[in-house]
């Protein structure tokens, strides 16, 4: 049951625009809570199942991580070639997590805090892989040169190809991580069992 109950939904939006020079950047990370109800661990988990973020056609998840990525990028003709001279990302990562709508009894709150801390830590790992993906894109893009491309058209095709490969690797990392975390005896399964079987 838990195999399909937690996932990371990752959506990338790429935009190209001219800019000045390459600069250091920091990802913006935000938490978007959704409201759940209940006074016991089992009731809270049931509410998550009813109100959690949608996944697929009919499924819902406990939490998910999404991101929006845009680029400030400058292509520069150099002789008969084209070079990417500026490539600066703007990355916003959003963690969607459940939050009880009302105060919980002390024992339940303690159990809940352990659960949500573990779930949030899981989602943060997805955030790390997203940031690492963006750094890899940045590194492979800046200085990229394509010969015989004075109109800077071929370089865009080549860049898109490289970005696709990097994105696929990042998504596979996320799937592999989820498979371990949500498998039998995995961390997420244990967190759920402790919450549901607790006070």
Residue 199: per-residue pLDDT: 83
The arithmetic mean of pLDDT across residues 8-20, rounded, is: 35
Residues 6+ apart with CB under 8 A from 108: 39, 40, 41, 44, 198, 199
**Domain coverage including residue 127:** 2-197
Quick: pLDDT tens for 71-120. Answer: 999 999 999 999 999 999 999 999 999 999 999 999 999 999 999 999 99
Q: Tell me which DSSP letter residue 61 carries.
A: -
Q: How far apart are CA 199 and CA 196, in angstroms?
A: 8
Beta-bridged to residue 93, according to DSSP, are 29, 67
Residues 6+ apart with CB under 8 A from 134: 27, 69, 89, 91
Number of domains in the chain: 1
Quick: pLDDT tens for 50-70. Answer: 999 988 766 889 999 999 999
Full DSSP string of 32-68 = EEEEE--SSHHHHHHHHHHHSPEETTTEE-S-EEEEE
Asked if 165 and 96 count as a contact pair (C-beta separation under 8 A), the reply is no
């Amino acid at each position: 049951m838990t195999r399909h109950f937690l996932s990371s939904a990752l959506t990338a939006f790429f935009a190209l625009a001219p800019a000045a020079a390459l600069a250091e950047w920091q990802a913006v990370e935000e938490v978007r809570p959704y409201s759940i109800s209940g006074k016991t661990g089992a009731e809270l988990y049931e509410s998550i199942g009813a109100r959690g973020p949608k996944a697929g056609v009919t499924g819902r998840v406990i939490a998910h991580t999404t991101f929006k990525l845009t680029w400030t990028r400058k292509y520069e003709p150099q002789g008969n070639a084209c070079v990417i001279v500026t490539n600066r990302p703007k990355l916003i990562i959003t963690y969607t997590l459940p939050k009880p709508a009302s105060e919980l009894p002390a024992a339940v709150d303690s159990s809940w805090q352990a659960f949500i801390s573990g779930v949030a830590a899981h989602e943060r790992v997805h955030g790390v892989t997203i940031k690492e993906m963006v750094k890899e894109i940045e590194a492979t893009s800046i200085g990229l040169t394509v010969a015989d491309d004075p109109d800077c058209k071929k370089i865009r095709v080549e860049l898109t190809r490289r970005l696709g490969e990097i994105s696929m690797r990042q998504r596979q990392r996320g799937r592999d991580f989820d498979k371990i975390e949500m498998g039998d005896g995995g961390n997420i399964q244990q967190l759920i069992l402790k919450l549901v079987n607790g006070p």
